[in-house]
């Protein structure tokens, strides 16, 4: 598929209402990567296997298992400088991931393993929010001291996370990719996203 075709298929996909985080990020990766890499979905499926069954544990244990899989299973280290670390295929295969991709990857592992989670912004940073019936726990590249106040966590839907990734790519990628990010941002539905569950 040509770069132009990948870009227009990403635009179509990013406009869909029922979009999932992994689909959105796979579409972005496909429109920016020069070579076609292994589908991120298959890598996520495999990486989620050690977490199966964890969904029945307490929230704190779920969060701990998820953090352990991200840090010691996938060996992801946070990288805020390289624009490639903003693309999910690169993050999964090179182990260096922007905090937004760490949040996407963690949420997708949780979703596959039946752990209730979402992506949220708290104190300006993206987090995986593991949700129990009465408690929640944040998992991410750093620790926030104490117990996060649920009122300070703002959930982000797949469209909003895709927009955040594109905004970062536009700011730090070489001109060609920055222009592509700008075109994708302009083509994405504007205004407020419909609320995802
Ligand atoms: Zn949305």
What's the distance, CA 124 to chain centroid?
A: 15
Q: Are 136 and 148 in contact (CB under 8 A)?
A: yes
* Per-residue pLDDT reduced to its tens digit, 11-66: 999 988 889 999 999 999 999 876 656 678 999 999 999 999 999 999 999 999 99
Residue 17 has what pLDDT? 83
Cα(92)–Cα(118) distance, integer angstroms:
19
CA of 197 to the centre of ligand 1 (A): 10
**pLDDT single digits (tens) 124-160:** 889 999 998 888 999 987 655 555 676 789 999 999 9
25 alpha carbon – ligand 1 mean position (Å) = 13
Kindly give the distance from the C-alpha atom of residue 72 to the centroid of ligand 1, in angstroms, as a whole number. Answer: 31
Residue 54 and residue 113 in contact, taking contact as beta carbons nearer than 8 Å: yes
- Apex 8 CA angle, 32 and 184, nearest 5: 60
For the cut 90, the answer to whether the pLDDT of residue 69 exceeds it is yes
What end-to-end distance do the CA atoms of the chain give, in Å?
33
Q: For residues 11 and 111, what is the distance between their CA atoms, to the nearest angstrom?
A: 24
CA dihedral sign, ordered 129, 135, 141, 145: positive
Band of pLDDT at residue 121, cut at 50, 70 and 90: very high
- Residues surrounding ion ligand 1 at CB below 5 Å: 157, 159, 193
What is the whole-number distance in angstroms between the Cα of residue 165 and the centre of ligand 1?
A: 14
**pLDDT the model gives residue 197:** 43
* Pair 120, 129: CB distance under 8 Å: yes
Give residue-wise pLDDT tens across range 91-100.
999 999 999 9
Average pLDDT, the chain: 89
């Amino acid at each position: 598929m040509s770069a132009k075709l990948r870009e227009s298929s990403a635009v179509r996909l990013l406009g869909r209402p029922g979009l999932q985080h992994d689909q959105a990020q796979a579409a972005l990766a496909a429109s920016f990567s020069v070579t076609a890499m292994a589908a991120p979905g298959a890598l996520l499926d495999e990486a989620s296997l050690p977490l199966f069954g964890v969904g029945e544990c307490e929230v704190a244990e779920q969060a701990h298992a998820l953090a352990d899989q991200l840090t010691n299973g996938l060996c992801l280290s946070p990288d805020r400088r390289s624009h490639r670390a903003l693309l999910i295929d690169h993050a999964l295969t090179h182990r260096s991931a922007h905090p937004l991709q760490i949040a996407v990857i963690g949420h997708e592992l949780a979703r596959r393993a039946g752990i209730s989670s979402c992506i949220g912004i708290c104190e300006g940073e993206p987090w995986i929010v593991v949700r129990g019936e009465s408690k929640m726990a944040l998992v991410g590249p750093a620790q926030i001291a104490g117990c996060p106040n649920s009122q300070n966590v703002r959930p982000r839907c797949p469209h909003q996370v895709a927009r955040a990734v594109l905004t970062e790519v536009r700011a730090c990628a070489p001109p060609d990719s920055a222009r592509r990010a700008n075109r994708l941002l302009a083509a994405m539905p504007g205004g407020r996203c419909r609320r995802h569950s």
